[in-house]
Amino acid sequence: MSKITPQPGIMEIALYEGGKAKIEGREDVLKLSSNENPLGAPPSAQSALAEAARNLHRYPSTDHAELRQAIGEVHGLDPARIICGVGSDEVLQFICQAFSGPGDEIIHTEHGFSMYPVLIHMAGATPVCVPEAERVVDVDAILAAVTDKTRIVLLTNPGNPTATILPEGALERLADGLPAHVLLVIDGAYTEYAAGYDGGTALADARPNVIMTRTFSKVYGLGGLRIGWGYGPKELIDVMTRIRQPFNLSVVQLAAAEAAVRDRAWVETCAALNERQRARLVGAIRQLGVACDDSHTNFVLARFADEAEAAAADAVLQADGIIVRRVKGYGFPEALRITVGDDDQTGRVIAALTKWREGA
Ligand SMILES: Cc1ncc(COP(=O)(O)O)c(C=O)c1O
């Protein structure tokens, strides 16, 4: 028996379960379980990556200056207030680690991103889970949960797996209501799919206690490469930079991300495809008598009558080679989260769900 003991909080961490990727004995698997881009990575980023791969013997830049400059130009932001990480997961980790520790509380919401409790425990802090109202973040419930020990509020907007959105006015009311010692983090992994939503930019620009995070894993199609970023008050970004490893992003990550963020045509094409197929999928699901909120993301949450019905529909989808996400761990045993695919893929999903309904 080892006498080496882990730090407090670490044994509370449940291992993260990623979206399933394989079905035994099938080659034609359609993976719609991790909200990946059906069009893949932009050719511009693939070329930049190949070019950068000629320099694999060189260490990457430590300050990510060129990538931050590109993000700043595209989004109209001050590059000095941007920090880049190995996925937005790492940026969220910097936030929890830099601004909380043992004895501190971090608020997250009932159906928020499942990595939050992991990151909170990694920092040694205590997660405080606040209910949502009909699958939408509840500003009053969050404000009521704030104590002297609260350091951070972690918010997914638009939500995963709910796909709902808290309008900017409500976000502003939340920011107004939080005490100055509490940091509001707006995780905007799906911002590009929410037409007209600024992802928390205006708040992160103006407030001393708001940070927003973004990812290259969704609309930019670079989930396999692992790049994300955060934007907030310079003094907070400077604190986070102290715990960022100097070479956290590789030469190929930096080159691909810079090309991708400048490729606005790609983002528009992917967002437009998503909007069309999402409307089609939501309409078809509702037509089959399955509840489904309007989605502001690249996935939909199909809510069946109960867990057994969701399991039966999942079995029919899998029999047709389609993998979607069971979301019991997110508090939705009766639901399936389905990533929006391209035209053919959406057709396959609708056909399988129709088959399930007809056989049900
Ligand atoms: C809400 C939310 N936040 C953050 C992430 C992490 O994204 P990444 O680390 O790939 O940037 C995800 C990934 O699925 C997500 O759904």
- Residue range 330-346, pLDDT digits in tens: 999 999 999 999 999 99
SS3 330: helix
Q: What is the mean pLDDT of residues 185-200?
A: 97
HSE, CB side, 13 Å, CA atoms: give it for residue 291: 11
What's the 15 CA to ligand 1 centre distance in angstroms?
Answer: 16
Stretch among 6-10, 249-253, 263-267, 339-343 having the lowest mean pLDDT? 6-10
- Residue range 262-295, pLDDT digits in tens: 999 999 999 999 999 999 999 999 999 999 999 9
Contact present, 229 and 85 (Cβ < 8 Å): yes
Question: Is the CB–ligand 1 distance for residue 158 below 6 Å?
Answer: no
Among candidates 269, 285, 274, which has minimal Cα distance to 339?
Answer: 274
- Residue range 236-246, pLDDT digits in tens: 999 999 999 99
- Give CA–CA dist 260/106, Å, rounded: 33
Question: Is the CB–ligand 1 distance for residue 299 below 6 Å?
Answer: no
Question: Is the CB–ligand 1 distance for residue 42 below 6 Å?
Answer: no
Which residues are within 8 A (CB) of 51 and not within 5 positions of it... i.e. 6 or more apart? 255
- Give CA–CA dist 247/119, Å, rounded: 21
Output the pLDDT for position 26. 84
Instruction: Identify any residues that bridge with 338 across adjacent strands, giving them in sequence order.
Output: 300
Question: Is the CB–ligand 1 distance for residue 295 below 6 Å?
Answer: no
Q: Residue 135: pLDDT above 70?
A: yes
Protein residue closest via CA to atom 15 of ligand 1? 189
Question: Is the CB–ligand 1 distance for residue 87 below 6 Å?
Answer: yes
Contact present, 154 and 92 (Cβ < 8 Å): yes
Instruction: Identify any residues that bridge with 260 across adjacent strands, giving them in sequence order.
Output: none
Output the pLDDT for position 360. 58
SS3 269: helix
Q: Let me know how long the chain is.
A: 360
pTM tops 0.85: yes
Which residue among 154, 187, 327 has the greatest number of ligand 1 atoms within 8 angstroms of its CB, and so is best to mutate?
187
Contact present, 299 and 219 (Cβ < 8 Å): no
- Give CA–CA dist 303/291, Å, rounded: 5
SS3 121: helix
Instruction: Identify any residues that bridge with 212 across adjacent strands, giving them in sequence order.
Output: 186, 231
What's the 226 CA to ligand 1 centre distance in angstroms?
Answer: 10
CA-187 nearest atom, ligand 1: 3
Contact present, 48 and 258 (Cβ < 8 Å): yes
Count of beta carbons in the 10 Å neighbourhood of residue 252: 19
Q: Residue 28: pLDDT above 90?
A: no
Contact present, 85 and 244 (Cβ < 8 Å): yes
Output the pLDDT for position 117. 94
Question: Is the CB–ligand 1 distance for residue 228 below 6 Å?
Answer: yes
